[in-house]
C-alpha cells in the first residue's frame, strides 16, 4: 500500500473511531440523565457495581462500532491500532487514549465531557473512561502500565484532586502519531542527533559488522536485545560499524549527546521513557560513546549507565577496551582501524582516479606505511588535497594526512616547528649514522612489516623508539627537529605540566590521550627530560610508591605498543628504568663536542646574511662549551653588533663568550679573551 493510501485508510479509521466514541458519549449522557432523575449514584459508583444495570447499548452505537471494525481491517494497521499493538495496550487503555485524543481532534468533545460528568470539567478523566468505556480495568491507572509509564497521557492533578478526577491530556507526540505524522519527539532532538548514511567499511571492519548482525538476530530469536559494546581506539570506526549494522537491520541510528544527559535521576528517567516510546514508534537505534561521556563531566558516565540500564531498545556503546557493566545483557565486539594492506588498497583506489599520478602504487605504499588512518580520514585527506596542482598533489596529500592529528595533540603537547636540517647537525660519525638509520626505518616500515611479512610474526613493537642521551646543549632537541623535517612530520614535545597529575590515574589518562592522538602516524613524540617520566621504579613503602610504579608500568606498555616514532631525551641516562632501555630500538649518545666539532658548529652558527669580519674559528673552537652555548654566544654577539651598527667581530664574540661562561659559573682565563 502506498503512503497516500495508508493516510486515507488511517483517516477513515480515525473518523470511524471518533464517530463511535461520540455515539458512546451520547448514550452515556442519556443514561446518566435518566439515572439522575432517580437520584442514582454517580457514573464511577455505577462502574463499581453499586447501582442498577446499565441500559442496553443503542443501535447507533452498534452501527458505529461495526463501521469502526470494518475500517480496522486495512493493512498496514491504522496508527492507533499499531500503537496499541506495540505498546501492548488493552482495549480499555486504547479507547481511553482515543477519548483523550478526541478533544484534540474535535473541540466539540470538550462540551460532551462536561455534560457527561455533570460538572465544570470540560476534559476527560479516568472516572469518565471507567464509567463509559467497555472492559474497564482499574489497572490502567497504574504508573507501570503504558498510559502513564510511556508518557502517553499528561495528568493535571493539582492539590488534593483524586487521580480519577484529574484532567487528562494526550501527549503532543502521540496526537501527531495518531494523525499519521511519525516524527521524533521535539523534547529529544537536543539530546539525540540522527547520524548520516553508513560510511564504507574495510573488509576487516565489515566482518565485525556482520558478526554483530548475526548475533543480534540470534538474540532476537531468543527474545533478548543486548547492549552492543564496540571496543576499539578509533571512535569513527566504531560509529561506522554501528551505522552499517543499523542499515542492514532497517533502523536509523541516533547519537546520544552525553554532555547534555541529565545527571538527576528523575530527569534521566523521564528521558529514558520518552526514548523507550520512540523505539516502539520508530525503527531507531542509539549510539553512545563512553569515552566522550568520560571527558564531558564527572557525573556523565554515571548518568549514561543509569540511562542504558533501562530497556531503551537497540543500543551501541562505544568503548575503548573493557566492556562496561550496564545492568543488562551485553554483546562485545572489537572494532579496529583498517589494516595496513586495506589502507594501501584504499589509497591506491583514490590515486587511480588521477591520471597525473603514474606512481600511485608507490605513493599509496608510502602513505599507508606512515599514517594509520580510517577510510573516512583517507577520503577526507584526499578531498583536502584535491585542489592541488598536478605536480604538488603528492606533497599536498602528505600534508593533509599529517595535519589530521593536529587538533587533538595541540591540546596535550607543544608543537615545535622543525627548521634544522641534516647540514646543520654536527655529530660524530657513529651517532650521525644512527640518526640516518632512524629516519630510514621510519620510511621503510611498510615494506619490512607488510611486504616482507614481519608483521605476521610480531604482536607489538611496530613503532620506533629512540633515546637521545647527553648533556644539556649537545643537540638532542635539534636532532629531533632534523628527523621531523626530513620525514615531513609534526614534532610534539610533551608538556609534563599538562600530563603529570597529582590525582591517582589522571597521569595515565593524559598519556593515553597523547599516544592515541599520535597513533595515526602524523607526529613524532619528544619526551624532553624523559627521566621525570621514565624514572626507575622504587621499592613500595607506601601507597604513593605503588601508584608511581603503576604510572611507570603503564608507560612501559604504551611506549612498546606505540606504532609511531617516539624520542626520549635526557641528560640523566642512569636515572632511567632499565626496562625502558631494553625496549628501546636506538640509543644515541650525544657526546660533548670535540675541538673539531666545535669549530664546525661555530662555522654553521651564522646565517649567510650575517655581516661578519675576520672571525678566528680555530680560536673560538678552543672554548670548551657545548653547541647550545655556541648558538647563544653567536646570537648575543649578533644583537650587540646590530645595536652598534657594525659587523660581528671577534671582540664582540669574545665578550659574549665571557658573559656566557659567567652565566654558567664556569672558570675561565681572562688572558684568553684579550685581543
Write the pLDDT tens digit of every residue in 310-322: 888 899 999 887 7
Distance separating alpha carbons of residues 657 and 673, to the nearest angstrom? 9
569 bridge partner residues: 468
At 459 the pLDDT is 64
Distance separating alpha carbons of residues 116 and 42, to the nearest angstrom? 10
At 90 the pLDDT is 94
On whether the CB atoms of residues 104 and 113 are closer than 8 A, the answer is no
Query: And the C-alpha cell for 250?
Result: 532497517
The contacts of residue 333 (CB under 8 Å, 6+ apart) are 208, 211, 212, 215, 228, 229, 230, 231, 241
Sign of CA dihedral 580, 582, 588, 590: positive
Pairing of strands 523-527, 565-570: parallel
At 40 the pLDDT is 42
From residue 503, give the alpha-carbon distance in Å to each of 320, 548, 551, 647.
21, 11, 12, 55
Query: And the C-alpha cell for 400?
Result: 593533509
On whether the CB atoms of residues 624 and 595 are closer than 8 A, the answer is no
Q: What is the DSSP letter of 278?
A: H
**Spans of the chain, pLDDT less than 70:** 1-4, 34-57, 262-263, 293-300, 355-358, 387-391, 407, 459-461, 496-498, 502-505, 534-551, 668-675
Which has the closest alpha carbon to 397: 410, 418, 372, 378?
378
At 37 the pLDDT is 45
pTM of the model: 0.80
Could you please report the per-residue DSSP string of 444-500? THHIIIIISSGGGG-SS--SEEEEEEE-TTSSHHHHHHHHHHHHT-EEEEE-HHHH-
156 bridge partner residues: 167
Tell me the three state secondary structure of residue 256: strand
Distance separating alpha carbons of residues 405 and 522, to the nearest angstrom? 6
The contacts of residue 152 (CB under 8 Å, 6+ apart) are 87, 97, 146, 170, 171, 174, 277
Which helix (H) or strand (E) is 384 found in, with range?
A: helix 375-385
Amino acid at each position: 500500500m502506498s503512503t497516500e493510501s495508508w493516510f486515507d485508510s488511517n483517516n477513515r479509521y480515525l473518523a470511524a473511531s471518533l464517530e463511535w466514541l461520540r455515539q458512546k458519549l451520547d448514550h452515556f449522557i442519556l443514561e446518566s440523565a435518566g439515572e439522575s432523575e432517580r437520584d442514582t449514584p454517580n457514573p464511577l459508583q455505577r462502574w463499581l457495581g453499586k447501582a442498577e444495570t446499565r441500559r442496553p447499548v443503542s443501535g447507533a452505537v452498534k452501527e458505529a462500532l461495526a463501521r469502526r471494525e470494518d475500517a480496522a481491517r486495512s493493512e498496514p494497521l491504522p496508527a492507533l491500532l499499531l500503537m496499541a499493538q506495540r505498546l501492548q495496550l488493552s482495549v480499555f487503555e486504547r479507547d481511553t487514549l482515543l477519548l483523550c485524543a478526541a478533544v484534540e481532534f474535535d473541540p466539540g468533545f470538550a462540551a460532551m465531557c462536561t455534560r457527561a460528568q455533570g460538572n465544570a470539567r470540560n476534559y476527560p478523566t479516568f472516572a469518565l473512561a471507567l464509567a463509559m468505556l467497555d472492559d474497564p480495568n482499574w489497572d490502567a491507572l497504574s504508573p507501570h502500565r503504558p498510559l502513564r509509564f510511556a508518557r502517553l497521557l499528561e495528568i493535571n492533578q493539582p492539590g488534593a484532586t483524586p487521580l480519577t478526577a484529574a484532567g487528562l491530556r494526550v501527549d503532543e507526540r502521540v496526537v501527531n502519531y495518531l494523525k499519521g505524522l511519525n516524527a521524533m519527539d521535539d523534547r529529544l532532538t537536543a539530546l539525540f542527533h540522527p547520524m548520516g548514511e553508513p560510511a564504507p567499511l574495510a573488509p576487516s571492519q565489515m566482518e565485525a559488522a556482520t558478526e554483530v548482525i548475526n548475533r543480534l538476530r540470534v538474540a532476537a530469536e531468543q527474545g533478548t536485545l543486548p547492549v552492543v559494546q564496540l571496543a576499539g581506539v578509533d571512535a569513527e570506526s566504531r560509529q561506522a560499524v554501528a551505522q552499517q549494522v543499523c542499515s542492514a537491520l532497517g533502523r536509523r541510528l541516533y547519537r546520544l549527546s552525553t554532555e547534555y544527559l541529565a545527571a538527576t535521576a528523575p530527569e534521566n528517567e523521564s528521558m529514558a521513557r520518552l526514548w523507550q516510546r520512540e523505539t516502539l514508534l520508530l525503527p531507531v537505534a542509539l549510539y553512545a560513546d563512553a569515552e566522550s561521556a568520560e571527558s564531558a563531566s564527572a557525573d556523565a558516565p554515571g548518568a549514561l549507565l543509569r540511562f542504558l540500564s533501562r530497556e531503551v531498545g537497540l543500543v551501541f556503546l562505544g568503548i575503548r577496551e573493557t566492556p562496561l557493566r550496564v545492568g543488562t545483557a551485553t554483546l562485545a565486539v572489537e572494532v579496529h582501524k583498517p589494516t595496513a594492506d586495506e589502507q594501501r588498497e584504499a589509497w591506491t583506489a583514490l590515486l587511480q582516479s588521477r591520471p597525473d599520478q603514474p606512481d600511485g602504487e608507490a605513493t599509496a605504499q608510502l602513505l599507508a606505511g606512515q599514517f594509520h588512518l580510517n577510510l573516512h580520514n583517507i577520503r577526507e585527506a584526499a578531498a583536502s588535497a584535491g585542489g592541488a596542482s598536478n605536480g604538488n598533489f603528492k606533497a599536498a596529500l602528505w600534508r593533509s594526512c599529517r595535519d589530521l592529528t593536529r587538533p587533538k595533540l595541540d591540546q596535550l603537547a607543544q608543537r615545535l616547528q622543525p627548521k634544522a636540517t641534516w647540514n646543520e647537525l654536527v655529530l660524530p660519525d657513529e651517532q650521525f649514522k644512527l640518526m640516518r638509520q632512524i629516519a630510514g626505518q621510519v620510511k621503510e616500515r611498510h615494506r619490512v612489516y607488510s611486504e616482507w611479512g614481519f608483521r605476521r610474526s610480531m604482536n607489538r613493537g611496530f613503532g620506533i623508539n629512540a633515546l637521545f642521551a647527553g648533556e644539556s646543549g649537545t643537540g638532542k632537541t635539534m636532532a629531533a627537529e632534523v628527523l621531523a623535517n626530513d620525514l615531513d612530520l609534526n614534532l610534539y614535545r610533551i608538556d609534563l605540566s599538562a600530563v603529570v597529575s597529582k590525582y591517582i590515574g589522571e597521569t595515565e589518562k593524559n598519556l593515553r590521550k597523547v599516544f592515541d592522538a599520535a597513533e595515526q602516524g602524523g607526529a613524532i613524540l619528544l619526551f624532553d627530560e624523559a627521566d621525570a617520566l621514565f624514572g626507575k621504579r622504587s621499592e613500595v613503602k607506601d601507597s604513593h610508591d605503588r601508584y608511581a610504579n603503576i604510572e611507570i608500568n603503564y608507560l612501559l606498555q604504551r611506549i612498546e605498543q606505540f606504532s609511531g616514532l617516539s624520542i626520549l631525551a635526557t641528560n640523566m641516562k642512569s636515572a632511567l628504568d632499565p626496562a625502558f632501555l631494553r625496549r628501546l630500538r636506538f640509543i644515541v649518545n650525544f657526546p660533548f663536542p670535540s675541538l673539531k666539532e666545535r669549530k664546525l658548529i661555530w662555522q654553521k652558527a651564522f646565517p649567510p646574511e650575517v655581516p661578519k669580519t675576520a672571525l678566528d674559528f680555530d680560536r673560538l673552537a678552543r672554548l670548551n662549551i657545548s653547541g647550545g652555548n655556541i648558538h647563544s654566544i653567536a646570537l648575543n654577539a649578533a644583537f650587540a653588533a646590530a645595536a652598534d651598527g657594525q659587523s660581528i667581530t671577534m671582540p664582540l664574540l669574545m665578550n659574549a663568550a665571557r658573559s656566557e661562561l659567567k652565566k654558567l659559573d664556569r672558570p675561565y682565563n681572562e688572558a684568553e679573551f684579550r685581543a
